[in-house]
Amino acid sequence: MARIHIDHISRVEGHGALTVELDGNTVRDVKLNLFEGMRGFERVVLGRPFTEIPAIICRICAICSAGHAITAHMAVEKALGIPVPAQTELLRELAFLGMFIESHSLHVFALALPDYLGYAGIADMAQDHKEVVTKALQIKKTGNAVQELIGGRAIHHVNTTFGGFGKLPSQSEVRELRAQLANCLTDMDGIVELLAGLSTPDYAGEEILFMAIRPAGDGYGFFGDTIVFSDGREAPVDQYKTAFQETESQYSNAKRSTVDGLPFMVGALARINLFGDRLTGKAAEALAKLQIPVPSKNALYNNLAQVVELVYALERAIEICDQILAEGLKAEPLPEVIVRSGQGTVATELPRGTLYHSFSFDDNGLVTAADVITPTALNQASVEQEITNLGTSYAGQTEDELQFLFERLVRAYDPCISCSVHIVQVKAEGRHTID
């Protein structure tokens, strides 16, 4: 029996290992070990006042800090009945779009594209593809600029508050940002053409079960109240604990999530499969050019799905800037917050997939329970299933070739391992869950 062990998966956020055991042409076992140190954020916030929760929770991740900060604000607002004006929702969406632009460009160009073009990393790739890399870095920089303008800084926002913002962007700042976004959208035309000419390895597998939040309204988007699975199942977000099941893993510091024992995938490919028909404009054109198969049986297409969403995020951010420039922003008083007991659960779509935040408070507004479920934790079982399918399809390859394919597939999920860990080993014979 052959055993392939990758003790450190490269070009991903955080630390993880992969072990695959093959018996001839059959994959006998796959273990994705997310051994990043336990973070313990759900325990840290217990007993803390509601006002501190977003600032603490957003430290779970720097890449998606805007998503964690805004989702935490939304969960607290739901628990305490804090009203949120439409203008605040619009600016929060713009901050989310900046996060998607920054995160997707980082992953697609710096972490995934070297696999397609045959380079060890972005530095080597830049020697032969300087123009593409230069444009990619500018796109990422623009995503950071969006977040900095709305959130006060690019990482760990300080300008977001309950029901509003501390400072609103000026018209001149929005106008300058729009120009940057428009340049990036133009640059994406050539990048989409380049990626459309690249091949994605195929492998035999069953149709992937996908999960995402149905966007509010009729368009594409990242906010909503209903959990949707590609097999037709649906559930309200506040019933997430019965919509899927979390179990502890004996070999990983992240929980595994399944639906009736079946793994499922979240992220860009899930959203494109479930709601790609809502895309319009250049995003719809990019989806057609990149020829992502729907329904999908190949998780490697998540990279191209992120490219489609990158185009969407740029287009939608420009639309919001145009709306702000046409209508202006009004200085609105922050809503009164009445401290009370309550419980709030919110799910949003982040670059890597669905994020769940759930908090309960006592009469003094102190946290009595907290639950945070991140996309990478949701995807762990799916990664192992797709590695099994990939390994079975390419069982005749050399171990080096298989190792490259396995790492490539793990990278396609764009894992943020630091976000996912919830378990700490406290003694040799047992494990303890911090949640």
For 326-366, the pLDDT digits (tens) are 999 999 999 999 999 999 999 999 999 999 999 999 999 99
Contact 12/410 with Cβ under 8 angstroms? yes
| Coil/strand/helix, residue 99 | helix
Look up the CATH number of domain 2-433.
1.10.645.10
- Range among 3-7, 25-29, 364-368 rated most confident: 364-368
Sheet of strand 234-236, all strands in order from the earlier edge strand to the far edge: 211-214, 226-229, 234-236
Give the confidence band of 12 by pLDDT, cuts at 50, 70, 90.
low
373-19-62 Cα angle (round to 5) = 35
Place of tokens 């319009």: 280
The tens digit of pLDDT for each residue in 193-229 reads 999 999 999 998 889 999 999 999 999 999 999 999 9
In angstroms, how far is the first alpha carbon of the chain from the final one?
38
Average pLDDT, the chain: 90
